[in-house]
């Protein structure tokens, strides 16, 4: 039965690994993973642990390929592919290259004319989108936001007016902080979903507005996190974006200029945003 899934040698394979439940590994993945001459892994210990969970013995060599050495190792690894070896790239979870190592290796393979194929499978962004209940006809995967507050706020400002659903990864330790920034820039009224530990035993999905989720995330949060956020609605209420205006003003922008930036991003009227911000600030002494 295994031979049914045997794959040609001399190809670079990108293999999606389970994001939680090991039962999500396909029969094709198990066969190619076992038969690989070289397994290039983001974390060799995790790759070997996955093999143990799948109750298989890896026949090939397991080597580390991560963000810090990918550029240096790409050509040597592709030399092995050209020699006719079966090289399989795996990340810690999900599809390689999606917020994981692999892009530089694949780019170099394409430049060298080396065949690249994928063993499709689990992907946290698509899984989170599917269960979110938010529009899935158009979406953008944004990965991790910048860690520095100013950079994160500017990034959110740049995508605030996008009408399609937005998908993010985040550390559980930074979830509350990130949701706070989203409320400030995108407005607390947007619908959103926080997916924690997808496909694992303690899978947990939170639904509500960004303000609701911000309040819920105030305590300790554990596990892998994916956030799905509703796209910008046409029109909207200026009151929903007052926090975004004030956040820009707190960074040093004049209040009118801040209102103008948010108006450009959301399609709302600058004067309405400026007036709503003044009302929020209250009488000035």
Q: Which CATH number do you get for residue 219?
A: 3.30.950.10
Question: Is 60 exceeded by the pLDDT of residue 1?
Answer: no
Q: What is the CATH number of the domain that holds 60?
A: 3.40.1010.10
- Are 39 and 33 in contact by the 8 Å Cβ rule? The answer is yes
Which ranges of 86-148 would DSSP assign to H, the alpha helix? 103-112, 124-132
Q: If residue 13 lies in a helix (H) or strand (E), which one and from where to where?
A: strand 12-15
Q: Is 190 in the same domain as 216?
A: yes
Residues 7 and 118 in one domain: yes
pLDDT in tens, 61-109: 999 999 999 999 999 999 999 999 999 999 999 999 999 999 999 999 9
Burial of 182 (0-12, 13-18, 19+ CB in 10 A): buried
Is residue 75 within a helix (H) or strand (E), and if so which, with residue range?
Answer: helix 70-82
- Which segment of 11-20, 28-37, 238-247 scores lowest on mean pLDDT? 238-247
Q: Residue 185: enclosing H or E segment and its boundaries?
A: helix 175-186
**pLDDT of amino acid 110:** 97
Q: Report pTM.
A: 0.80
pLDDT for 46? 97
Instruction: Point out the domain boundary residue: 122, 155, 186.
Output: 122
Question: Quick one: 30 exposed, middle or buried, by C-beta within 10 A (0-12, 13-18, 19+)?
Answer: middle
End position of a domain, from candidates 100, 122, 144: 122
Domain region containing 48: 2-122
Same domain, 11 and 102: yes
Q: Are residues 105 and 141 in the same domain?
A: no
Q: Is residue 193 domain-shared with residue 144, that is, in the same domain?
A: yes
The residue assigned the tokens 């790239």 is 89
Residues 198 and 245 in one domain: no
């Amino acid at each position: 039965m295994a031979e049914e899934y045997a794959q040609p040698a001399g190809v670079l394979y990108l293999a999606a690994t389970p994001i939680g439940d090991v039962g999500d590994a396909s029969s094709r993945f198990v066969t190619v993973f076992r038969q690989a001459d070289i397994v290039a892994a983001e974390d060799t210990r995790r790759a070997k642990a996955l093999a143990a969970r799948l109750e298989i013995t890896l026949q090939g060599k397991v080597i580390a390929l991560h963000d810090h050495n990918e550029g240096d190792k790409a050509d040597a690894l592709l030399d092995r592919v050209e020699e006719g070896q079966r090289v399989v790239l795996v990340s810690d979870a999900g599809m390689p290259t999606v917020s994981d190592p692999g892009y530089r290796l694949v780019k170099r393979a394409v430049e060298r004319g080396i065949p690249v194929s994928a063993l499709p499978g689990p992907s946290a962004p698509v899984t989170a989108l599917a269960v979110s209940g938010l529009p899935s006809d158009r979406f953008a995967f944004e990965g991790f936001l910048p860690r520095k507050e100013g950079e994160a706020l500017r990034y959110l400002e740049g995508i605030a007016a996008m009408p399609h659903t937005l998908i993010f990864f985040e550390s559980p330790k930074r979830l509350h902080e990130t949701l706070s920034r989203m409320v400030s820039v995108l407005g607390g009224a947007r619908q959103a979903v926080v997916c924690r530990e997808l496909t694992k035993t303690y899978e947990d999905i939170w639904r509500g507005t960004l303000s609701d989720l911000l309040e819920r995330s105030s305590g300790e949060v554990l596990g892998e996190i994916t956030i799905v956020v509703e796209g910008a609605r046409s029109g909207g209420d200026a009151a929903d974006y007052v926090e975004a205006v004030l956040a820009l003003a707190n960074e040093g922008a004049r209040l009118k200029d801040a209102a103008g930036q948010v108006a450009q991003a959301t399609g709302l009227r600058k004067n309405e945003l400026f007036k709503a911000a003044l009302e929020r600030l209250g009488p000035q002494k």
